[in-house]
Amino acid sequence: MEIINTKVATLSNFEVMNHLQNVKEGKKRNKGQLATITYETLRYLESTPCKHQTPESIENCLKALKHYNLTKNEKLMLINTPPITPLEIQLMVEESEERLTEEQVEEILQIITEHFPHVRKIEAEVEEEVEGT
Amino acid sequence: MFILTEMKNVIRIPPEYFHIKLNYAIADELNKKLANKVMLNVGLCIALFDITNIKESYILPGDEASHTGVTFRYIVFRPFIEEILLGKIRSCSQEGVHISLGFFDDILIPPTALQHPSRFDETEQAWVWQYDMGDGNKHDLFMDAGESIRFKVTAEVFQETCPSGPALSETRDSIEAKVPYLIKGSINEPGLGLLSWWNN
């Protein structure tokens, strides 16, 4: 096995999930390790917010985030694990206190909720579960 | 979290797969070879993404199979340093907190990278964050197995696990314990740690 390029591109969780779903459905003769890793990875990804994302919602969200001068990796994290609190943005965006104003952080949170409205719903469900038990 | 890696290899297709279309046969062989394996300094291979080039096939003297040079791209799990990930606590031990993503288990938060101050509870077999309430009282926050946890990737350690010859009896233990790809993480920042800590 010869490695030409370790990192040709970065994939978002949604792209991986989409591809694995096709792998799983496309062929019935999948067996062994491929079946194992596809099943386990899909189970993880389908428990994250990327389950309800669409190519359009991701694209529109990225367009809206264009003006905030974020790096590729930062935007990738915002898409993979959409934040709902300013604290999470602080974690994902390096030196966010200096690079973003409080209003901008609020705007980013607004953009995320606008394009991925299910994120807040999931959070609400989790809280209900916690309260219920 | 996931990247695409471009690789090149010569794939051997045995005659029993000659009835399958060549590109499907190659895809199957590549997945058989790589799926769920850690590649040194690359990451954990998940599944074939696409085949970008198939060269001419040829047959070697004395071998009934066909050999085809292919270039392809593979989906690989390789989070970047500083990436924030979500996982579940697998177990706690003196070495730290072990985290699983379901498909990848070798993630460790060493004791020095836990929230400060933390202690290991021997009876519960769990790490405890002794949260200072601000009024001199301390509130124990347990890190139980199965809880969702948010952490930051701080380091990655790749290790060669190929057998390097007959192992001497006294070194066998260390060989069995070898982890091909270990991710080290930290949770000693506000917002990191169990999701329930930061809900309010």
pLDDT tens for each residue of B76-92 = 999 999 999 999 999 99
What ipTM describes this predicted complex?
0.85
Distance CA A36, CA B114 (A): 32
Q: Are A65 and A73 in contact (CB under 8 A)?
A: no
Token duo for residue B172: 């066998």
Q: Can you list the positions of beta strands (E) in B78-114?
A: 84-93, 96-100, 107-109
List, by residue range, all CATH 1.20.1250.40 domains of chain A.
Answer: 54-132
**In the predicted structure, residue B19 carries a pLDDT above the cut 50:** yes
Distance CA B86, CA A116 (A): 18
H/E element, A8? strand A2-11
- In words, the CATH class of domain B2-77 is alpha beta
Residue-range domain boundaries for chain B: 2-77, 84-198
Q: Are B102 and B89 in contact (CB under 8 A)?
A: no
Q: What does the pLDDT average to over A1-18?
A: 91
Give the number of C-alpha atoms closer than 13 A to the C-alpha of residue B165, restricted to the C-beta side.
Answer: 2
Q: What does the pLDDT average to over B55-66?
A: 92
Exposure class string for A90-122: b at 16+ Cβ within 10 A, else e: bbbbeebeeebeeebbebbbebbeebbeebeeb
**CB spacing of B84 vs A41 below 8 angstroms:** no
State the DSSP code for A68.
Answer: G
Q: Could you read off the pLDDT of B130-150 as tens digits, one per residue? A: 887 777 778 888 888 888 999
**Residue B193's pLDDT is what?**
87
In this structure, the number of other CB atoms found within 10 A of the CB of residue B172 comes to: 10
Q: What does the pLDDT average to over B161-186?
A: 71
**In the predicted structure, residue A52 carries a pLDDT above the cut 60:** yes
What is the secondary structure of B120-136 as a DSSP string? EETTTTEEEEEEE-SSS
Per-window interface: A 9-68 vs B, CB < 8 A: 9-13, 15-16, 19-20, 23, 29-30, 32-34, 36-38, 40-41, 43-44, 48
CATH code for the part of the protein at B84-198: 2.40.50.140
Distance CA B56, CA B30 (A): 17
How far A41 CA sits from the closest chain B CA (Å)? 5
**Residue B170's pLDDT is what?**
56
Whether A96 and chain B come into contact, CB under 8 Å, resolves to: no
Distance CA A114, CA B57 (A): 52
Q: Among 1.10.10.10, 2.60.120.260, 1.20.1250.40, 3.30.479.30, name the CATH number for the domain at A54-132.
A: 1.20.1250.40
User: pLDDT band at residue B171, thresholds of 50, 70 and 90?
Assistant: low
Per-window interface: B 148-187 vs A, CB < 8 A: 150, 152
| Minimum-distance CB partner of A87 among B7, B46, B191 | B191
Closest CA to A34 of B10, B27, B65: B27
Distance CA B185, CA B200 (A): 24
Closest CA to B156 of B74, B43, B47, B46: B43
Q: Are B47 and A37 in contact (CB under 8 A)?
A: yes
What is the average pLDDT score of chain B? 87
pLDDT higher at B73 or A99: B73
Torsion of CA B185, B191, B197, B199, to 10 degrees: -140
Q: Are A7 and B5 in contact (CB under 8 A)?
A: yes
**In the predicted structure, residue B55 carries a pLDDT above the cut 90:** yes
Greatest alpha-carbon pair distance for chain A in Å reads 54
